[in-house]
Every structure is written in structure tokens, then in C-alpha cells.
Structure 1
């Protein structure tokens, strides 16, 4: 029991040892870890010989990439369904439905081709179960990825939204690291010809949704959603649960006023996707954020990590060990992400991140060429230099690109469109990663180390587009960020330097924020997860 019974004569003992604020952060972080776990899980399953025999495919077959990538199509559909459900029925019911869906998909993957002998008595049915499981798992995880950032951001204060989400995405990398470690451990112990070396990592994934479902009922629905459905008493109860009676009434009135101001405009997907719609500009920013993140190439590095290191000259097992080291570094370096995202801002991190990634991939092209085409060069030297460069590139991606593109959509839409905006983000994430993970094995087989040069070029484009068109959304209230799009329409330009005199090129100065208190209503700048000592 998380909160054991206390003695009647000891009122202080009745207080839970974990605050509601920390319960929400732990819950959201664990949910985000689901996505990372799948990436780490599939990276070694793809090379398991028992798995390939069960599916009836060769390691170099493009079907390997199709099985991986079809998951992302499920994610795209799941994001739409979950966001609609989140707006109609609530953030929590939507998350619960996604968790159950993910469990069903995971079970289908686990039992695909299952037999005592490890041979494949299922014929083509094994492939059908695996594909269906991948799609259904994607429906659940895609929905979680759409709703969790909304749930988290609606319960975070403006000055710490980036920190909160970056901490959650550090858990995403923990999920990736956990999956790969389990995968590597059972592969070393059982070998690549044993069916349990790939089934065990799949079924372990069930621990995440089981844990999350067991604690979700203890967490609050967001007061903003209750207000949007005119359930004022439920919103008050949630606020009292979070902050106590004294603060709840003031915060409730402020949230209600903010909702009345926003409710005059009914926002639909047409408003977001049609060029004349009021939310078209922020939607295009959301779309390009995900496109540019995909162009960094790190969807391929996460899913096909061992194969990437093999391009630098490592043997199969050495490549797997070095990949594990890269993921450990990745997880640790994510600490810098949540330390810097609310200090340096989203825009600066992404631009300089693209510069760093383009440089690293250009170097990796050189090292790959030396490893494959130049016989008198020391392979050990190339392996060391290439590994250091790829470790640095992975750290740069984690610090600069992983969390930022998920945070921006939660900061640029009004409350009525925030879940829809996040769903658009997940849809594009799913489609882009579907393309990347589908094409990467083909590019491995045809381009070899020249694949790195492709990623260098795509990173250069991502950095240029971000510098040109992506505003700085950090340190501002939701309403202040929406002012950028109003000004862009008035100034007839989407280029950030031309909008409102370049005001959104950088984070707002602290003295300006303190003096003005934010131009939006206090309801959107009040820290819903503030501790009792904060005001």
C-alpha cells in the first residue's frame, strides 16, 4: 500500500509520503517510457534468428523494416482517436483506454508463432499476429504520446513546462535503455536462435501499463478540462485535492474566466488544417517540428543502433555492447535537457542542435569511409573516433531535439485545441517515423556509410527551417504565445525576425516578465502544481 494506515492520534502521519505533484510526474514519466521501450526492444529483435525464422523473412528483407514501421501508422491513428476521446471524456479516461489497447497489442506480439519447440507451426499466421500486434500497440502508445503531454502541461507552471516534459522524456530514454539491456542480457544468455530471447523483452513491456493502470485512479483530472465541460464543482474538488481550500477558490474563478474568454471560438480540425483557418499557422509549426525531428535521423539510430555501429567497423556483439553504452550516455545526458530547456529556450536548442548533428554526421561519413574503403587505416582508431562522435551526436539530439518538439504544440494552442494540436504532432511523428524506419534498412543495404551524409544534409535543412520560422515559446504564457500568430498575420510574414519586431526570436527577459506579469490571464500562468510554499 502506498499510503499505509496511520494512527488516529497522529494527524501528521496521515499525510501521504509522496505529494500529488510528484505522483503526476512519476505517472507521466512512466507512460512516456513506453515509447522508448518499444524502440529499444525492436532494435535487437530485428537481428534474432529465431524471430526471423518465425516470421519467415531474411535479415536483409525490407519486411523487417515494414514490421517495425507499421507500428507508427498505428500511432498516428491512435493519436487522433485518443485526442478526441480526451476532449470529450477527459484526459484520464483516454489514457486508460490507451493503456489497455497497448496491452492487447503487446500480447499479440508475444504469442505470434509461439510453440514449445520454437519452430513455426503457424505459417503465415505468425506474421499476421505480429503485424496486428504492432499496429494495436501503436494505437495505444500513439494515444498516450498525444494525451500525456497535454495532461502534464495543463498541470505545470509556465516557467517549468519544459523542465517537466524533459524529465518525462528522460524516462523515455530510460525505457529504451531498459528494453535494450533486457534484450542484450537474454540474447547473451540464450543466444540468437532461442525464441525466448525475443519473446521475453516483449512480454516485460506489460509491466508499464499494469503499473500505470493501478495508480491512475489516484490522480486528478485536469481542472482545465473540468472547466471546459462546465463541471465547476469537479474542478473545485480537483483543485482542493492539489492545493487545499484557500487557493482553490481563487484558482477556480481564474480558470473559469479564462474558459469564458476562449469559448467564444469553436476550434475544429478544419480550422487547424485549412489554410484560411484560425489555427493553421500553429498547426504548420507543429507539423514541421515533427518533420524536422525525423530529419535529424535519430529514429533510425534508436531502432537500428547496433547496425549503425556495424557501419563503423564493429562486429555484431561488440556493436551491441557499444550501443548499450550509447544508450546509457543518452539517458545521463538527458539531465542537461531539463536543466537547459527553460533557460536557453526551445528555439536556440533546436538550431544549435542541428548544427552539431550535421557536423557529427559529416564526420561519421568520413569515419565510415575510412573503415570500409581504406585498408591501411587502423580499424580500432576509426571505431573509437566514430563511437565518440556518435555518442556526442546522441547527446546533442537528446538535449536539443527530443523533448522540444513535443513541448511546443502544448504551448501554442488555446485550451480547446491543445489535445488536437498534440494529436497532430503525434500523427506527423508516426508518419515520419514510419517513413524513416521503413527506408533505413533499405538505405543500409544500398548506401552503407553514405547514409550518414544524408542525415548531415537533412539536419542542415532542419536547422535552417527552425531558425527561419520557429518562434521561441519558452517563458511565456499560453496566451502570449498565441500573440505571435496574431502578429504574424498582421505583419504578413511567418519569418520570426519579421514578426512583432523580432520579439519571439529569444526568451523574454525576466525583468520584463516580472514587471508585466504576463499578458495572458492569470489562470494560464498560475502554477497548478505549485508546492504549498509557492504563490
Structure 2
């Protein structure tokens, strides 16, 4: 069935004029008296959406695992105590792989589908985990980590897109936010596995091989479930497979109801939006930098920059160095703190999921960056006092540790789950994969900085290096305030138009309210005529 041949059929059914204007999502969505998990189709859909979410868990496992291994004497002795650039290479191995996987990942997602991207990425990551566990040398371990990065990159480009494009409309914000929150699911598992295997003895190689084997757990789960995962309806409709898209929406969004007004509404929105993009837009990576998309490209670069360059890289990969700098050098104590920090972050992140549906994206980002700046200043001051007193004041060391936990609370408010939700909203379908690829590339570049510069700077100037991050976080706050439009209150199809609406009005502060819908429809109409 061809896209242009069917747009009128669905538009007539789902966009009949009401006395008070065109219908909204709230007009057509069923309002059940029981919670969503009593609806079988929604329960099954949200279970299957764990498949893309596990891409984030796999990345979290990798980061936390290497953090734990650095505190294990068994691993350090087997690989001849890697430090400096050799340790930097191991930290950067997945980052190198991410760079290699960015453009193939975007191509696979657009050419063969989001589901296929997850499948290919999981296959590569699972195979690489086996190679890592069997490593006999530093070079073999490094090569396996690069391959893990390639697989993760391909899967990550497809995963948030599929989440946002397949989720039930009222679940989309929470589900897309949950994607990166599950990073801590993987990180927590890795932290406690490395803590447990630490006690296996100094000569037991399985103390580091077991975590390496378990790194393949999340990709293997994805491979086991991906067969039942539906493809993105947006991808199917864009490729003129409308009947398939309708069957998926009926089965998973309407619980099998062929005459569901919600399905007609969703199909109409998607078909009209994608037809407009097909008619008026050229496809390809270069269009991301066209004049109308430069603000979007800037945001696609800034969001991963903020995720990586807000000081969290100091703890994510070099917690042992940070703890040593405040006088906590015991390997078992460092591993225990790493595990507790992961559990704390995971619990806080889960508790914050629903904030994205209650507050604006800008509000959360501004709150997050301002609180991070405050805690980082406190972190810097307490670390300076700790050094001045030659690390003898245990109260100061505990104070620094407490501030690290407070810092992560601030970080989790805006920079953990929210970025992927915001990016999928500001990037329309035709550049969504390219924008996420650009974000992955930016994240990889900043990851290289974190892996090399952080360790060198921490060793050379200790707490004084924190002042650099104080300045960066202040810059991030200003960037969000002046450059990030609000998108709250719109469906996935409406959000990119709402982005344009805010820019044309000269305001980045307001979201999309019901009274804006007439302006939204007018803007869509102008775009169709242009």
C-alpha cells in the first residue's frame, strides 16, 4: 500500500472537525478504570520494549565493570598493571568501537529497520564478550572491548528510536526516559559481580573472566527476545508498508480492536507527517546541517556532550582515583562504594522517571545543571580542605563522598534518561537516526577525552581539576537557557512541529498546550503548501 494513496482514508476518519476544533490524542485514547498492566497487549508490549532498553544496560555494565576491575589486583597483575595511556586505551576501547559503528548503525536503522539494528548490534556485542572473557593478552582484551563498542553503537542508534516510535502514546515519555535509566541496571550488576569475584583470591583469573563472560548477558537476552519485538510503525509507513504498521498498532495499542479511533488517529498523524517529510525534504546525513535543522544538530551534539562532560566521567571510569584522592585506598572499600553508588543511582533514577511527564524538559535540564554546579563547587572546596589537612580528617573524606552522592542526584534529574527523550522529540523521523548517530559520535569523542585527560589531570593536579568542570557545567546551564526550546505537551509527530513553533515565535520557554493546537495545525498546513 502506497503512502500517498492512503493518507486521505485515515485523515478523514481521525481528523473530523469537532465543534471545538480538531480532535486531540485525549479525545481518542481509551480511558480505562484499571491500570494499564491489566491490558494484556500493553503488558506484552512494555515487556518486549525491554529489548531496546537492554542496550543501555549493556553499556552501563561495561563502564562499571572496568571501574571494578581497576580495583582488582588479579586483573591488574594479569595485564601488567595498566596505567597511563595503556589504561586509557582500555577505557576508550568501546569508544573507538562506537566511532566505527556510528555510521553503519544509522544506515542499518534507516535501511533495514530499528529491529534489525538491535539484532546486529547484540550479535556483535555477545561475540565480543566471549572474546574478552577468553583474552590471553592485553591486545586481545583491547580488541574485544573495541568490538563491544561497535555492537553497542549499532544497537544504541536503533534502540531509543524504536522505543519512542513504538511505545503506547501515553507511555512514550516514561518509556524513552527509562531507556538510559537502565544504564544503572547494568552498572549495578557489574559493580556487585566484580566485588564478589574480588574475594576469589589473588591468583584466580576467573575473578575478572567471570565479569567478562557476564557482559554478554544483556546482548544474549536481546537475541532471545528480538524475534517477538515489533518493528517501528514509523519505519514501516515510511517504506510504504502501511498494512503491516496498522496490524502492529491494532495488536499492541488497541488490544486487537480493528475499529479503534486511536489507531486511525495515530496512522493519520504518522502518514501526514512522513508524507510531508518525503515531499519537502531530501534524505541523507547532509540534511541534518541544512539551515532549518542546524538548531537540531546543535542540540544533538550538546546533549551527549552534557551527558559526558559534566564531571560524571570522573566517577564512571576513575572512581578508584577519585576515592584515593580523598584518602580511601582500600580495594574492598572502593568496590563496596562503587556498588552502593550504583544502587543509589538506580533507585533515584527510577523514582524520577515520571518527572518528565509532569515538568517541562527545559525545567528539568535547568534544575539539573544548576544543582550539579552547586555540588561540584562543594566537592572542589571539600577536596581542597582534605588535601590541606593531609587526608587525616575522616569527616572531610565522608563529606566529599556525600557530595558525590548529591551530585549524582542532580545529574539524574536531567542528564540520565531525559536526553534520549528530548532528542527523539526534536529530531523528526527523516533525520532521527542521523541525529542520534551524530550524538553517538560526539559522545564517543568526549568519552576519549574522559578516558585520557581525566586520569592524567587527576594524577597531576588532583582536586584543582574539578574547577574545569565547574566552568563547563556553568556553560551548559547557559546553553540550555538560551538554546533549548520546550517540547512538553506534544505527541511524537507534533513535537518537531512544536519545536518549529517555538522558534518562529522567538520563545524557547513554552511547551505545547491545548490552546496552541490551532497554531500547530496552521503551521502544518503552511508546511504542506510550501
Tell me the TM-score range normalised by the shorter chain: 0.7 to 0.9
Could you tell me which residue of structure 1 aligns to residue 326 of structure 2?
Answer: 312
Distance 2:44 2:276 in 1: 29
Q: 1:211 aligns with which of 191, 203, 221?
A: 221
Distance 1:519 1:99 in 2: 43
- What's the RMSD between the two structures over aligned residues? 2.6
Could you tell me which residue of structure 1 aligns to residue 24 of structure 2?
Answer: none
Q: 2:515 aligns with which of 512, 515, 527?
A: 512
Q: Pick closer, same or farther for the CA change 1:166–1:485 going to 2, 3 Å.
A: closer
Distance 1:82 1:262 in 2: 22
Could you tell me which residue of structure 2 aligns to residue 303 of structure 1?
Answer: 317
Distance 1:486 1:33 in 2: 33
SS at match of 1:47: coil
Q: How far does residue 201 in structure 1 lie from its aligned partner after superposition?
A: 0.7
Unaligned 5+ segments in structure 2 are 1-38, 526-530
Instruction: State the TM-score, normalizing by the size of structure 2.
Output: 0.84
Q: 1:175 aligns with which of 161, 183, 186?
A: 186
Matches within 5 A, 1:42-191: 42-56=66-80, 58-113=81-136, 126-156=137-167, 160-187=171-198, 189-191=199-201
Contact 2:301–2:439 (CA under 8 A) maintained in structure 1: yes
Contact 1:163–1:341 (CA under 8 A) maintained in structure 2: yes
Could you tell me which residue of structure 2 aligns to residue 231 of structure 1?
Answer: 241
Distance 1:198 1:144 in 2: 25
- Pairing 1:266–2:282 present: yes
Q: How far does residue 309 in structure 1 lie from its aligned partner after superposition?
A: 2.2
Could you tell me which residue of structure 2 aligns to residue 466 of structure 1?
Answer: 480
Q: How far does residue 422 in structure 1 lie from its aligned partner after superposition?
A: 1.3
Distance 1:439 1:518 in 2: 49
Distance 1:353 1:447 in 2: 27
Could you tell me which residue of structure 2 aligns to residue 500 of structure 1?
Answer: 505
- Pairing 1:246–2:259 present: yes
Q: 1:30 aligns with which of 54, 57, 64?
A: 54
TM-superposition CA deviations, 1:224-260 (whole Å, max 9, x none): 1111111122222222322222224564454333322
Contact 1:41–1:183 (CA under 8 A) maintained in structure 2: yes
Distance 1:184 1:307 in 2: 17
Contact 2:61–2:189 (CA under 8 A) maintained in structure 1: yes
Q: How far does residue 328 in structure 1 lie from its aligned partner after superposition?
A: 1.4
Instruction: State the TM-score, normalizing by the size of structure 1.
Output: 0.83
Distance 1:16 1:342 in 2: 24
Matches within 5 A, 1:518-533: none
Contact 2:320–2:329 (CA under 8 A) maintained in structure 1: no
Contact 1:350–1:400 (CA under 8 A) maintained in structure 2: yes
TM-superposition CA deviations, 1:400-425 (whole Å, max 9, x none): 21122222221112212212211111
Could you tell me which residue of structure 2 aligns to residue 339 of structure 1?
Answer: 354
Q: How far does residue 193 in structure 1 lie from its aligned partner after superposition?
A: 4.7
SS at match of 2:204: coil
Distance 1:198 1:450 in 2: 33
SS at match of 1:505: coil
Contact 1:480–1:518 (CA under 8 A) maintained in structure 2: no
Contact 1:371–1:379 (CA under 8 A) maintained in structure 2: yes
Matches within 5 A, 1:363-402: 363-375=378-390, 379-402=393-416
Runs of 4+ in structure 1 off by over 6 angstroms are 514-522
SS at match of 1:282: helix
TM-superposition CA deviations, 1:361-410 (whole Å, max 9, x none): 211122222222224x8622112211111101011111221122222221
TM-superposition CA deviations, 1:470-498 (whole Å, max 9, x none): 1112222445443466568xxxxxxx7xx
TM-superposition CA deviations, 1:9-46 (whole Å, max 9, x none): xxxxxx96973322233223223211111111110212
SS at match of 1:296: coil
Contact 2:368–2:410 (CA under 8 A) maintained in structure 1: yes
Contact 1:67–1:131 (CA under 8 A) maintained in structure 2: yes
Q: How far does residue 306 in structure 1 lie from its aligned partner after superposition?
A: 3.1
Unaligned 5+ segments in structure 1 are 1-14, 114-125, 489-495, 523-535
